Chain A
């Protein structure tokens, strides 16, 4: 049987992403969770490359695997978090009920995917290719210009708010 290289790439990246995702939840030490999160982000970035979303893949690597993870690792390293390892998981019937709920949600989503008529075509309708970056930029600065500007205001707001919260002593309002 012929096996396409794109399929091999998808299965390798998907397996890596899933294993690292389970690692984020299962690791007891928060620093290992953060490192598993980096692996997940890199895997998802690779999956974006296989979907020819080159701009989104690059942004994913820079923003998530770079900036957000550095934030998490810095907070983990600033404080000694080893002594609260014992409180990592709750126990008893509460946990079982939550797991069953998540299982029901997963079953619903998977049955919705399998019942829909999406799987009939395995090839994209029309390849976007490398020109997608230019098209994304054009759309972003014409059709979505309002959302783009609102995002910049949001970023400024978050910078001020985060500094204000982090500077407070003790309580959450200084």
Chain B
């Protein structure tokens, strides 16, 4: 059990994903929700790299590269939206995102 195999990395990845999911569902602050989405994406990245290492397949490493880029784009657009909402409503509660039309 102490010997680290792919199962250990997969369990850690699942735990990170579920921590992020709890944050997305329970928090009301839109900034923290974006951070928790990053947490979920990183959990999935960890499982990709673990599979790529234990099965000697480079596709796992390359897909992580693409996921990181798309995640950075998503964070930039999400933060721009959060700033726009913050200017309009003077707070960043997620309930203000119900109606995105200005």
- Interface of A toward B, CB cutoff 8 Å: 1, 3-4, 6-7, 10, 14, 17-18, 21-22, 24-25, 30, 33-34, 37, 40-41, 44, 47-48, 51-53, 55-56, 59-60, 63-64, 67-68, 71-72, 75-76, 78-79, 81, 83-84, 87-90, 95, 98-99, 101-102, 105-106, 109-110, 113-114, 118-119, 121-122, 124-128, 132, 135-136, 139-140, 144, 147, 151, 154-155, 158-159, 161-163, 165-166, 168-173
Beta-carbon contact of B49 and A25 below 8 Å: no
Q: List 11 A-B contacts (CB under 8 A).
A: A18-B19, A22-B19, A24-B39, A30-B32, A51-B9, A68-B72, A68-B75, A136-B58, A139-B62, A161-B80, A171-B102
Q: A113-B11, A166-B83, A170-B102 are in contact. Are A33 and B35 (CB under 8 A)?
A: yes
Determine the chain B residues whose CB is within 8 A of the CB of A102 once the complex forms: 18, 21-22, 25
A169 near B87: Cβ-Cβ < 8 Å = yes
Q: Is the CB of B20 within 8 A of A105?
A: no
Residues in chain A near residue B65, CB distance under 8 A: 55-56, 59, 136, 140
A90 pairs with B2, CB closer than 8 A: no
In the complex formed, the residue of B with least CB distance to A135 is B58
Do residues B53 and A53 form an inter-chain contact, with CB atoms below 8 A?
A: yes
Binding site for A on B (CB under 8 A): 2-12, 14-23, 25-29, 31-32, 34-36, 38-39, 42, 45-46, 49-50, 52-56, 58-59, 61-62, 64-66, 68-73, 75-77, 79-88, 91-93, 100-102
Q: How far is the CB of A145 from chain B (nearest CB, A)?
A: 11
- Closest A residue to B41 by beta carbon equals A64
Residues of B within 8 A of A88 (CB): 27-29, 32
Q: Quick one: which of B15, B22, B31, B54 contacts A125, CB cutoff 8 A?
A: B54
For B55, the closest partner residue in chain A by CB is A125
CB–CB A34/B61 < 8 A: no
B11 touches A110 (CB 8 A): yes
Tell me the bound Cα distance from A84 to B6 in angstroms: 42
Q: If A106-B14, A110-B14 touch, does A21 touch B39 (CB 8 Å cutoff)?
A: yes
A4 to B86, CA, bound (A): 50
**Known interface pairs A53-B53, A56-B64, A84-B29; A37-B38 also in contact (CB < 8 Å):** yes
| A169 CB contacts on chain B under 8 angstroms | 87
